[in-house]
Amino acid sequence: MKYEFLFISFVAIVATANALPCYSQDESVRPGINDTFRDPNVDDFIGKFEVESREVYLRRKEILAACEIKPGATIADVGAGTGLFTRLFSEAVGADGHIISVDISQKFLDHIKATNRKLGLKNIDTLLCTADSTKLPEEQIDLAYICDTYHHFEFPTKTMESLYRAMVPGGRLVLIDFRREEGKSTEWVMNHVRAGQAEFEKEITAVGFKKIADRSDLLKENYFLVFEKTQP
């Protein structure tokens, strides 16, 4: 009877372990995708990111409104790049709010700092992340914003786990990324973006976020999703 009990207990433990999602991720899902950001020419990227031909730039005001930002909020602009949305968020949260510009490129962060000084924006800090972590402090973020950046995450599970820890309970995550649809998307998107919306949603919800809204009607080339941090 003793050995039978031990055997049953062992089987139960194994079954439980197999039922839990596995979040370990030791290899990059897209090696080399961030090589151009190791030492970027910032002026060149301003010409690519802050131009009317880029949909998220053209629709930036509509996107900002759809984020439903509250004065005094703390926002993480993950993959801040040249700081386009960082600056918009800075005004939206007001003097009592706080923006953290997160990027893997120190050059982009230096540019954001210099621009902030010129514009007198004092509610913005910058944070250098790594390939597998946002490096954000725990339970500080009310809203995380990831625009045209998620497909650049080499270790999406680890990165999103770090972001989940950084969010306050009930905190919201806005994800904007390219529609990747066979026969509809451009060749560049099909080759550059590793997966479509369904796969990215699956990865994000596996970490613990819950999808609560879809505002993709605002955009054509991109989708716009809103997630919420659920209780563990």
Residue 223 and residue 176 in contact, taking contact as beta carbons nearer than 8 Å: yes
| Beta partners for residue 130, in sequence order | 133
| Element counts in the chain: helices (H) and strands (E) | 9, 7
DSSP 59-95: THHHHHHHTTPPTT-EEEEET-TTSHHHHHHHHHH-T
**Which of 24 and 57 is assigned the larger pLDDT?**
57
- Candidate CATH numbers 3.40.50.1970, 3.90.930.60, 3.30.1180.20, 3.40.50.150; the one for domain 55-229: 3.40.50.150
* Residue 67 pLDDT greater than 60, yes or no: yes
* Residue 135 pLDDT greater than 80, yes or no: yes
Note the pTM of the prediction, 2 decimals.
Answer: 0.88
CA distances from 101 to 15, 29, 43 (A): 42, 24, 18
Q: pLDDT-derived band of residue 16, with 50, 70 and 90 as boundaries?
A: very low
The pLDDT, as a whole number, for residue 171 is: 98
Residue 134 and residue 162 in contact, taking contact as beta carbons nearer than 8 Å: yes
- Of 64, 72, 42, residue with least CA distance to 168: 72
Q: In the predicted model, what is the mean pLDDT of residues 38-46?
A: 95
Residue for token digits 């994800």? Answer: 175
The pLDDT, as a whole number, for residue 162 is: 98
**Which of 7 and 80 is assigned the larger pLDDT?**
80
* Residue 62 pLDDT greater than 70, yes or no: yes
Q: pLDDT-derived band of residue 232, with 50, 70 and 90 as boundaries?
A: low
- Of 177, 220, 213, residue with least CA distance to 195: 177
CA distances from 83 to 74, 86, 101 (A): 16, 5, 7
Terminal-residue alpha carbon distance, the chain = 37
**Secondary structure class of 52 (helix, strand, coil):** coil
**Which of 74 and 21 is assigned the larger pLDDT?**
74
d(CA 127, CA 78): 9
DSSP conformation class of 223 = E
